[in-house]
Structure 1
Amino acid sequence: MSITSVRLQPEVEQGLEAMAISQERSKSWLINQALKEYIERQTQEKTRWQETLHAMDSVAKGQVVSGEAVQLWLESWGKDDEKSPPQVGQ
């Protein structure tokens, strides 16, 4: 494990200290958890943005599923003759 120094604003340091005491965890553990969650969120955000760009490109190319086909599919859910998800061009 590596060591990295971080300068904290006094109010952040005070909040961190209080949280470490209340949760019976070290400040290092709390900082690691916070950074881990931040990195995961940023990664998810980047993935969602790429998926959004891909979806917008598909729409621009006319690669879409009609609302009617989706509605028919949804109405079939839970029935004996449940339909497969609609495909592009249906």
Structure 2
Amino acid sequence: MATSLKIDDDLKSRVQQLASQRQRSAHWIMLEAIKQYVDREEAQESFKREALASWSAYQETGRHLTGQEVRTWLSTWGADDEKAMPECHE
């Protein structure tokens, strides 16, 4: 799918300068920038959906872990006595 993109002269110059510094084409720089933006925005949307689902589940059940419980559990990661995730509670 071919798509044209209009950018102002200043941005075009910046892209061309960066492309030259990186020994890449301006086309590659622009595609990479768009890919990284889309990846970041998709990840943000996924995080938002997951957070809303978690909030909904909490509102329905009241089951949760406190921040301190999570921090205590995470502090054991990689240790010889690594703990299993604590059980959620009301």
TM over 0.5: yes
The answer for unaligned runs of 5 or more in structure 1 is: none
Where has structure 1 moved over 4 Å in runs of 4 or more?
none
Q: State the distance in 2 between where 1:65 and 1:47 align.
A: 22
Q: What code does the residue aligned with 1:59 have?
A: Y
Q: 1:87/1:26 Cα in 2 relative to 1: closer, same or farther (>3 Å)?
A: same
The answer for unaligned runs of 5 or more in structure 2 is: none
Among the aligned pairs, what percent are the same residue?
A: 22
3-state DSSP of counterpart to 2:40: helix
Matches within 5 A, 1:39-58: 39-58=38-57
Is the Cα contact below 8 Å between 1:66 and 1:89 reproduced in 2? no
Structure 1-normalised TM-score?
A: 0.76
Q: 1:28/1:66 Cα in 2 relative to 1: closer, same or farther (>3 Å)?
A: closer
Q: 1:10/1:75 Cα in 2 relative to 1: closer, same or farther (>3 Å)?
A: closer
What is the aligned-residue RMSD (CA, Å)? Answer: 2.6
Q: What code does the residue aligned with 1:18 have?
A: Q
